[in-house]
Structure 1
Amino acid sequence: MVIVAYDDAQILDVACPSGALEIANSHGAVPRYAVELATVAGADTRSSSGIVLAGARRLAAVTGRIDTMLVVGGAGTPKAAVDERLLTQVRRLAGRSRRIASVCTGTFVLAAAGLLDRRRVTTHWGYGELLAARFPAVTVDSAPLYIRDGDVYTSAGVTSALDLTLALIEEDHGPSLAREVARELVTYLHRPADQAQISMFLAAPPPGNRVVRDLLGHIAAHLDGDLGPRALAARAGVTTRHLTRLFTTQLGSTPARVVRAARTEAAAHLARGSGLPLSAVARRCGFTSAGTLRQAFLDHYGVTGDMLRRMTDMPRPLATRAAQTPAV
């Protein structure tokens, strides 16, 4: 794997893929991953955090077949996307690569090199509109964590590089190795590609009301507990009517719908990332039965839990439901 970097790149865009692949090698990946950092000049490069990355090869010196070329993102992307020396080398290496990938705003570099025309791609949610406006021949979907379109893989912001890399490891070596890598990294294995970049708890600024803010934290930490409106109101020391008014004002949804969305999101993660039966997933996430969990998946995603587990990508919430419940 050749990781293409430049000055003021995001260091996590480099560290997440290289670290995960190093762990894959330590757990017996065959063939092993050989990771190289490459820049236009082949010199040390300074990340946006100020940490200097040493040992980079000169892009022009990279020859032969390449398994994966991955372009990182970061604060230096605007300059990188207009650096014709870099774009020339990216085009050349793309022709030698089995697959090409980008992390975060690295998508802009691939697009500027003309490698994303007529493809569906993603990038950091904050830059999707700009990417679409600048490159109209590219179909931009800034909702998913990562997207595969043929032999091109694009991912969202920063830590989604880890989700993408785990997906590549699973594609190359199977789910067992990817699971071992994720366990050593102490991370979720692995967030589905089409999972929204932003959880319902991060989709908007934290509620200004302390009661609502505290209750959201309680809900997330006690999904298998009593989260009915009366229990939540009692915890907050308010009436159920006032609780509903607070949630509607602060979140645009009722307490019951917020709880159901939170439980569905957590259950989707657990169903996709573990071998637990749906009945166990249901209990852990506060559903009364596997049947009610299946109905929640059907209402929110349009598929049952069994179907969700068999799918490569998790479907996004149904548009008709998006207006009724916080996005998952």
Structure 2
Amino acid sequence: MDITTWMSNHTGWADFILVGLFRQSQHPALLCVVIFLVFLMALSGNAVLIILIHSSAKLHTPMYFFISQLSLMDMMSISITVPKMLLDQVLGVSTISVPECGMQMFLYVTLVGSEFFLLAAMAYDRYMAICHPLRYPVLINHRVCLLLASGCWFLGSVDGFMLTPVTMTYPFCRSREIQHFFCEVPAVMKLSCSDTSLYETLMYLCCVLMLLIPVTIISGSYSCILLTIHRMNSAEGRRKALATCSSHMMVVTLFYGAGVYTYMLPSSYHTPQKDMVVSVFYTILTPVLNPLIYSFRNKDVTGALRK
């Protein structure tokens, strides 16, 4: 039985209602314009970064390859949620069908999971570049980069295939109002009228694993990097290494902090308002910040942009 049949049997195809951000705002039109501008900034910033990386020979390195993958994920994740939210506000519509909700949830969970692992791959790349510079070109070649990136996308899709079908096949007999601006797993689960405690426990363990593995890789990589930087004789080398790593750590802190709040903290810590604020941060603002962090703090990127 496929997911479409499951959803048909369990939900009766009744549309969900997305409460969204604009009901909470005293100036919904102004908020709509601001979010639209931020959306354009995110798309243009990440698109420019991808074009620069692919067009400039100086940026054809593993580090920038992974940054281009991060930009692609950011463009896709913000495009999954924001356009529908803005269009619904303009048209005065707030419903989303069950198949649309399931697809939005699957794509979003896949991209978030992929980005978790991509940030770990980026940390490992920096570890190899700084701690093993002589072996780096051989160990992290183009083929290895493709394998690592493909693995990140695959693991993210596994997360999507695990969480989405189960979430969407629970019976929803309470209010159809999702207290969110898109179909996020915790928000949709609150509408179920059946006992979801076992599933929530399993989802929590899955998310812990999805976060623990990348965090372990990142922590181990940067511990070794800091030790290597401390032993460097060249002040210029230390400065350059720290500048590169600090950009990545800023992105990791922003993204993982929001992920831990959303998927790992107990429900007693959550309110619909807090959940929406955190989701706005890592769904809408983080895709804008990532290209700024990696471009303005990087001479290679700014040099390619001038050319």
TM range (shorter): under 0.3
Q: Which protein has the larger Cα radius of gyration, Structure 1 or Structure 2?
A: 1
TM (normalized to structure 2)? 0.27
TM (normalized to structure 1)? 0.25
User: Per residue, is there more helix in 1 or in 2?
Assistant: 2
Query: More relative contact order in 1 or in 2 (CA 8 Å, sep 6+)?
Result: 2
User: Per residue, is there more strand in 1 or in 2?
Assistant: 1
